[in-house]
A = this chain, B = another copy of it.
Amino acid sequence: MSPILSSAESSIIESPIRRIAQLLEKAGADPDIISFGGGAPSLAPPKEVVNAMISSLKKDAFKAVSYTSTKGLPSLREKIAGDLTRSGDAVEPSQIALTTGATGGLFTALEDIINPGEEIVVSDPTYVGYEGPALIDRAKIRRVPVKKENDFQLTPDLVNEAITKKTKAIIILSPDNPTGRIQKKKNVKGIADIAKDNNLWIVSDDTYKDIIYEGSHTYVHKYAPENTITACAFSKSSSLPGLRLGYVYGPKEAINGITKLSQYIMLCPNKLSQTAAESFYSVKDSYLKESVIPVYKKKREVMGEMIKKHLPICNYVKPHGAFYYFIDLCDSKLDDEEFCNRLLEERKVVAIPGKYFGNEGKGHIRLTFVSESEKRIEEGVLKIKDFMEEL
């Protein structure tokens, strides 16, 4: 018999979305399964980015796959800083560290600032990936219910109510997963003030900041630069999810702390992924404007129309950003997890149970609208309709 595992291991649960990723990988190329499950882009990365990787491998394979510094290539950090500064959030290259996706960025950011027993305030519902790293740190997540009626906004009032003496950080995800809501500027500014007044950290998860259909992104860091660590990814905007590259930025001391931690967690970011990311900045604007946004926007319309037409009992808020419809099943006969299990088993359609995103998600399902073709989006929603009618 093996010795016992750690309390960190036993306290965290398997990510339900990752479990589904594994199931789908096992199912292999079953073309009948329509997946509204994961958060993967459906576009190929820009050809310039692919060519940059191929060129670097052909030109000098040794250099293409060598170690870099833990913080990442200076030339890439300059490009990121330039891009952020142009977008309205002035950042120096020294304030940036590359990470293993936004996942690695969020994990190291929390390791950097949270002690055992401290509390982290998050929306409910929101992304499933915050409780895991908090539990690894032996910290506590305090969930703040946000309401559809109020556009799922995390307001300063709600945050103020949730803060205790143990609170160390507030996580803001905008655009949000699963609801697609974009935090309003006044709420971002209000929460920035709370953090400054109470000496708290804000961890801003900007994974979807480039995936906005209406409205615009407000940088928390701009309003509380000494209190904010922002995590971002190349996975969604550049369609490079499997290259596992992201970055964090914020106060230098905090970023240096993350770099120190990263030395023992990843050693350094992937060199070839950094080559890809660096080349992305030369095509970023056109790729987003001409490919990503119009393609995903169209898919959002198609799925929205289908839901309105065929699932009339379901209630939802149209997402203004990110990849998802978050749908209230409105007293379906089934619990949302059972709903999704049977939907996959009986109709080969993957949806994610809302309860995974928090208590407020119960009775909901999350449908990714970017991953499948428009035709298959239509087919999939019709299958959900048939499934619900026969319940």
Contact = CB atoms under 8 A, between A and B. Distances in A.
Nearest to A25: B69
Interface string A118-141: 000000000001001100111000
A1 B100 contact: no
A45 B22 contact: no
A359 interface: no
User: Closest 9 A-B residue pairs measured CB to CB?
Assistant: A242-B271, A132-B264, A22-B69, A44-B62, A9-B257, A103-B267, A15-B263, A50-B61, A65-B242
A242 B66 contact: yes
A266 interface: yes
A73 B257 CA distance: 32
Contacts of A241: 65-67
A58 interface: yes
19 contacts: A2-B226, A5-B257, A6-B113, A8-B112, A14-B259, A18-B69, A18-B263, A21-B67, A25-B68, A25-B69, A38-B67, A44-B62, A45-B61, A50-B61, A104-B266, A129-B264, A136-B265, A242-B271, A272-B272
A191 interface: no
Interface of A: 1-3, 5-9, 12-15, 18, 21-22, 25-26, 38, 40, 43-45, 47, 50, 53-54, 57-58, 60-62, 64-71, 73-74, 100-101, 103-104, 107, 111-116, 129, 132-133, 136-138, 168, 199-201, 226-227, 239-244, 251, 253-254, 257, 259-261, 263-273, 276
A267 B115 contact: no
For A8, A74, A239, A276, the residue with the greatest tally of chain B CB atoms inside 10 Å of its CB is A8
A68 B244 CA distance: 11
Contacts of A137: 6, 8
Contacts of A116: 116, 138
Identical chains bound together, number: 2
Contacts of A269: 244
A67 B54 contact: no
Contacts of A200: 3
Nearest to A104: B266
A112 B11 CA distance: 11
A132 B263 contact: yes
Contact of A267 (B14, B101, B257, B267): B101
A74 B26 contact: yes
Given A111-B8, A270-B270, A265 B103 contact: yes
A69 B21 contact: yes
A271 B253 contact: no
